[in-house]
């Protein structure tokens, strides 16, 4: 999620983060040839909460497009400081649940403070790994990755685990900056095309159900479990 152009203090902040918080697990996806992007460290937490995010990404609209219902069980993979987790927790209500999964304990520590301040009790924090979200099997109605999938160090192994956590009618949703659109001011390795996502996920037992338009910079890519993963 790194801006390509000089956008004042935010671009300066992000440039410093690239130096101060180097990536781990970078490589190339063996199926699509996509370069795997660097991971934003905890030093970028303020960027996730920036005021401009509503204008640039329309997260309120994005959540509406997910069609969340009270009582649903959600997995927010790469939850960071819980920007989406907290908002989705309100949508699913006290009878629902959000698993906020991240591989950085420092991010989860920041999220814990936010949950305590807001007295939110239906978000469970989970320390995952690069290959395993550490979630219970066959329990998730919706797993979502917001500007996260392109940073997964080992996307194939993570997808196989995620597939096991979804209910039979569960959805996996990716929000990714549109690579097809040159006017989206994000570095190329932090964008994904529909074609790349389709190649990578369908190879791991998912089917692209639909692409939802309407956000300023991002695709909303909705996947379902295929009958069986490819051998």
Domain ranges of the chain: 8-225
Q: What is the pLDDT of residues 100-120, one digit of tens each?
A: 999 999 999 999 999 999 999
**pLDDT-based confidence at 25, cuts 50/70/90?**
very low
CA–CA separation, 18 and 49 (whole Å): 18
Contacts of 182 (CB under 8 A, 6+ apart): none
pTM: 0.87
Which CATH number describes the domain made up of 8-225?
3.40.50.150
pLDDT in tens, 52-93: 899 999 999 999 999 999 999 999 999 999 999 999 999 999
d(CA 205, CA 219): 20
Q: 211 is written with which tokens? A: 């692409």
- For residue 143, the cross-strand partners are 75, 172
29-32 contacts at long range (C-beta below 8 A, 24 or more positions apart): 29/155, 29/196, 29/200, 30/156, 31/199, 31/200, 31/203, 32/195, 32/196, 32/199, 32/200
Which tens digit of pLDDT belongs to each residue from 180-193?
999 999 999 999 99
């Amino acid at each position: 999620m790194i801006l390509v152009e000089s956008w004042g203090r935010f671009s300066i902040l992000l440039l410093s983060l690239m130096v101060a918080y180097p990536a781990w697990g970078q490589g190339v996806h063996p199926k699509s040839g996509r370069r795997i992007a660097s991971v934003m460290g905890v030093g970028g937490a303020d960027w996730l909460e920036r005021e401009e995010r509503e204008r640039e990404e329309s997260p309120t609209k994005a959540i509406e497009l997910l069609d969340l219902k009270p009582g649903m069980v959600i997995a927010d993979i790469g939850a960071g400081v819980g920007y989406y987790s907290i908002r989705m927790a309100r949508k699913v209500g006290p009878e629902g649940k959000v698993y906020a999964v991240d591989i950085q304990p420092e991010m989860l520590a920041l999220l814990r403070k936010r949950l305590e301040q807001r007295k939110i009790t239906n978000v469970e924090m989970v320390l995952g790994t690069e290959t395993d979200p550490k979630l219970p099997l066959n329990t998730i109605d919706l797993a979502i990755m917001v500007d996260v999938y392109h940073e997964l160090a080992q996307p194939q192994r993570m997808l196989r685990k995620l597939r096991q956590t979804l209910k039979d009618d569960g959805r996996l949703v990716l929000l990714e900056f549109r690579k097809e659109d040159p006017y989206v001011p994000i570095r190329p390795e932090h964008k994904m095309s529909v074609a790349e996502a389709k190649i990578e996920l369908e190879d791991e037992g998912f089917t692209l159900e639909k692409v939802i338009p309407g956000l300023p910079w991002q695709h909303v890519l909705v996947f379902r479990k295929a009958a069986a993963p490819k051998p």
